[in-house]
Structure 1
Amino acid sequence: MKIAVIGAGAAGLAALRHCTSGAYDDQVVCYEKTDQIGGTWVYREETGFDKYGLPIHTSMYKSLRANLPKEVMGYPDFPVPERPESYLTRTEMLDFLSTYCDHFALRSYIRLLHHVELVEPTAEADRKWSVKVRDLQNDVVVTESFDAIMVCNGHYFEPRIPKVPGQDVFTGKQIHSHDYRVPEIFDGKTVVVLGAGPSGLDLSFEISKNANRVILSHHLTENISTVFPENVVQKADVVELKEHEVVFADGTKEQVGAVFYCTGYKYNFPFLAESCGIRVDSNMVTPLWKHLVSIENPTLALVGLPFYVCAFSMFDLQTRFVLRHWHGERQFPVKADMLRSEAEEAARRAERGLQKRHFHMMGPEQGHYYDDLANTAGVTSLPPVLTKLHNESSQRFLDNQQHYREDRYKIIDDYNFVQL
């Protein structure tokens, strides 16, 4: 098979590693629109657009440390090297990805500064894929043909900014976490942080050292239990912005100088033609079999959509799952069965009170997802200890935001870990 991999971040590298492993005699090309591998782990000071007029992809800020321990952040056949601390810096994680890339000799398959502009299925009966790519350095566009596509473009680059009445009249600063790099931009300001997800919590702590006051606004029914710095307070949802102030759901108002949207991201595949048969509906990517394979065109796979997961290991498992099916070692179910499977899962999630935009959220359910992929494809699953440790560290994150990164872990075997 001739396979195109789109993106050379952690998911794209996992895809490349298995496509080139020798198990299959595949031809593989990986297109990466930036000048280096690593995807969202690459830090760039600039925001907005790059010199080629393309949106800056990374959402990495300067001080970031991983919010998961390294023990759950490696690949199944390539763990993060041993070192005392569990929570690594962005540079350590990027170095790890670079080492992984070199260990499996993947660089020769990667075309840097190649931007995929359009992917569409061809009309002929053998159903190949047409991929239109711009070589950014030479400003040359070529169209190439492939048998299959692995989309690995990540999902932390298209900001989700809620519509709040008065956004057009507020005179202070408004910024999404995608464009945040350093805390000095909030020096001396009163800042409202919208959103109490991982980035909202992390960044409330970070900017509290520079801001005069930080108001963490969220719609959780109870206040978050972690101990915040004295100048951080929690308040209800923001319902309106005025020229110099913010109005909250409880009717109170605050004079503020900046609104900081830590409101997450939207799945976006700007290069996929409508004929690919993929749409994003309230941030649910559909129709997909097992959060991964296009039901309309099963030689199109979207690697890495589930979140609150052991990401690198999941990318590896998803890739192995896809290749087993593409090479005929496992057969895809008929279209009606795949659609039914997706609909049943959507119904189960709705019964649990989850909104459509949480369709790809795994969290405590991730172990079931890994086992289902492995059992369906007849491949090795991920050890249960990964889910156990992920759940434990996620709870510590909520309980002790200030100090959880001081925790240190060691995995003992496939089922057990210890805290050191």
Structure 2
Amino acid sequence: MVKRVAIVGAGCSGLTAIKCCLEEGLEPTCFERSEDIGGLWRFTNNTEEGRGSIYKSVVTNTSKEMMCFSDFPMPEEFPTYLHHSKVLEYLHLYVEHFSLIKYIHFQTEVCSVTKCSDFPSTGQWDIATLTNGIQRNSIFDTVLICNGHHTKHYLPLDSFPGIENFKGHYVHSRFYKDSANYKGKTVLVVGIGNSAGDIAVDISNTAKQVYLSTRGGSWVLSRISKGGCPIDMMLSTRFLTWIRNLLPASFSARLNENLMNTWFDHANYGLEPLDRAQLKEPMVNDYLPSCILCGAIKVKPQIKTFTESSVIFEDDTVVENLDEVIFATGYVPSFPFLKDPEVIDDINALLYKQVFPTRIEKPTLAVLGLVKPLGAILTAAELQARWATRIFKGVAHLPTAARMEDYIKKSMEFKTKVFAATPNQKLQTYFIDYMDDVAVEIGVRPNIMHLLLKDPRLAWTVFFGPSTPYQYRLSGPGKWFGAKKAILTQWERTLNPARTRLVNKSSGTWLNFKTLLSLCVLLAAILLGLYCINGKSWS
């Protein structure tokens, strides 16, 4: 009998979950509380309860080739980095291409997900939904949770003494939409993540003065790397990942620091992280350094206390006549429909490879998109969905609960050491390492040595080029015959949209490029030889 799968949410994770269910012969039913697909990427002027919210100026931090679905490249005419409206357009194209819309029940809220009385033997779930005021209960064999982790904001007001006395207005960044209400005002943005940087820059165009308060600082990256290529496509390569994993942690951190300071010296801008050895997720912002240099934004340390009309910082400097405060302090996982805390712990959300809870008798529930992989969540969620649906189908299997718990423990120890011991960093992980970790479970991790013997050009591109999602469609379950072509043409789709004025390049540039390429080939041959001599597996 075909297994019925309940999918909670029709955002990026929910949409790919539907497709993966269909590919594995499962019967998906997706419940979406709003009237359209897109989740976080569907902008509205009002913040909706239970759904992620974005501001009007949002542009992606990852390039289109790194954040697309693995068997559905974005249209070549799409810009390299996308305004949120383009992401939503892409999701609509995906839904139309794979005929997914008929599996989605719109304006249907999932009220509860509870185990059936015979769960230890059947693994089934009782799903209570609410549509137009009518509640309905249905039994499903498996459940995929795809509600994201940007619905419940984290605002620890007790960490900001005096905030109760502040007579101005304060709000969490979740409720920020545009800069219209901040014209001519003195504004403090608290936080140093991507939202904090974006909002500070956005407001600085109209505000009287913007202050950015940070407790620990952050590295800041431009979307554009040296030479004009997308930064994520230049840094997210298997070659650089291999080098990083070979080097001692202290040396790797030092190289990372030098890399981050190639654009500008962070210390001179008050942004340098307190703990430079930790590889906390960098902020991606093309304009923040310029705004600081022009005086539109002033970086300040941690807040000491608020008064009725001012804020005092740890260095005892004071900002008087403060009008507005925006707390960009992040989010926490939230699963209000899961009534059994033994299934998933909202506070820690400790899951095996960020997907499967370990405390239930049957592996019939999985969470998608609950990860921060120093790269695109969309591509990680798709790989998670491919794995989860194969587990549900019974063609892949999980290890014992004890082994999964041990994996989680070691993983958390690693994250605390490498990233940071804060609630917002528990979901963080290296992009390629995580993707490969999940890909192994499906049998789709690229085998470089096999590719080298079969197709040297493709092997070169996979190892030294950007680790785009198509790599996980080259072989194994879900193989896509367009994957090779997509990989070999990824730079064309990346650069062509910007070539709106044709320029003839000099032959000297091409010769220099060929020389550099030859040197890279020679270096690659040496590295491959050493790697093989050491007897290490590449599979």
Q: Where on the TM-score scale, by shorter chain, does this alignment land: which range?
A: 0.7 to 0.9
1:127, CA displacement in angstroms? 2.5
Map residues 362-381 of structure 1 onto 2, 5 A cutoff.
362=429, 365-380=430-445
State yes or no: 1:160 paired with 2:158.
Answer: no
The answer to whether the 8 A contact 2:124-2:139 is kept is yes
1:153, CA displacement in angstroms? 0.2
Map residues 257-336 of structure 1 onto 2, 5 A cutoff.
257-274=323-340, 277-281=343-347, 284-286=348-350, 288-297=351-360, 298-307=363-372, 308-336=374-402
Counterpart of 2:12 in structure 1 is 10
Distance 1:210 1:56, change over 3 A: farther
Counterpart of 2:271 in structure 1 is 224
SS, match of residue 6 in structure 2: strand
Q: Which has the higher helix share?
A: 2
Aligned with 1:239 (options 286, 304, 325): 304
Alpha-carbon distance in structure 2 between the residues aligned to 1:260 and 1:275: 32
Percent of aligned pairs sharing the same letter: 28
Q: Quick one: which amino acid aligns to residue 108 of structure 1?
A: K
Deviates more, 1:107-116 or 1:77-86: 77-86
* Deviations 1:74-129, CA, capped at 9 Å, x for gaps: 10001111126311111111111011011110010000000001111112132311
Structure 2 residue runs without a partner (length 5+): 218-266, 273-288, 448-461, 470-485, 499-539
1:380, CA displacement in angstroms? 4.8
Distance 1:198 1:243, change over 3 A: same
Alpha-carbon distance in structure 2 between the residues aligned to 1:93 and 1:414: 18
* Deviations 1:373-409, CA, capped at 9 Å, x for gaps: 11122135696655589xxxxxxxxxxxxxxxxxxxx
Aligned with 2:195 (options 190, 196, 199): 199
State yes or no: 1:122 paired with 2:116.
Answer: yes
Counterpart of 2:279 in structure 1 is none
Counterpart of 1:46 in structure 2 is 46
Q: Quick one: which amino acid aligns to residue 272 of structure 1?
A: L
Counterpart of 1:28 in structure 2 is 28
- Which has the higher Rg, Structure 1 or Structure 2? 2
Alpha-carbon distance in structure 2 between the residues aligned to 1:172 and 1:4: 45
Distance 1:411 1:331, change over 3 A: closer
Q: Quick one: which amino acid aligns to residue 46 of structure 2?
A: E
1:354, CA displacement in angstroms? 2.0
The answer to whether the 8 A contact 2:189-2:211 is kept is yes
Provide the TM-score with structure 2 as the length reference.
0.68
Alpha-carbon distance in structure 2 between the residues aligned to 1:302 and 1:44: 26
Q: Quick one: which amino acid aligns to residue 30 of structure 1?
A: C
Map residues 355-366 of structure 1 onto 2, 5 A cutoff.
355-357=421-423, 358-362=425-429, 365-366=430-431
Structure 1 residue runs without a partner (length 5+): 50-54, 390-409
Distance 1:361 1:118, change over 3 A: same
Q: Quick one: which amino acid aligns to residue 333 of structure 1?
A: P
Alpha-carbon distance in structure 1 between the residues aligned to 2:148 and 2:18: 15
Alpha-carbon distance in structure 2 between the residues aligned to 1:260 and 1:411: 42
Alpha-carbon distance in structure 1 between the residues aligned to 2:87 and 2:492: 24
Alpha-carbon distance in structure 2 between the residues aligned to 1:182 and 1:377: 42
SS, match of residue 375 in structure 2: coil
1:294, CA displacement in angstroms? 1.2
Q: Which has the higher strand share?
A: 1
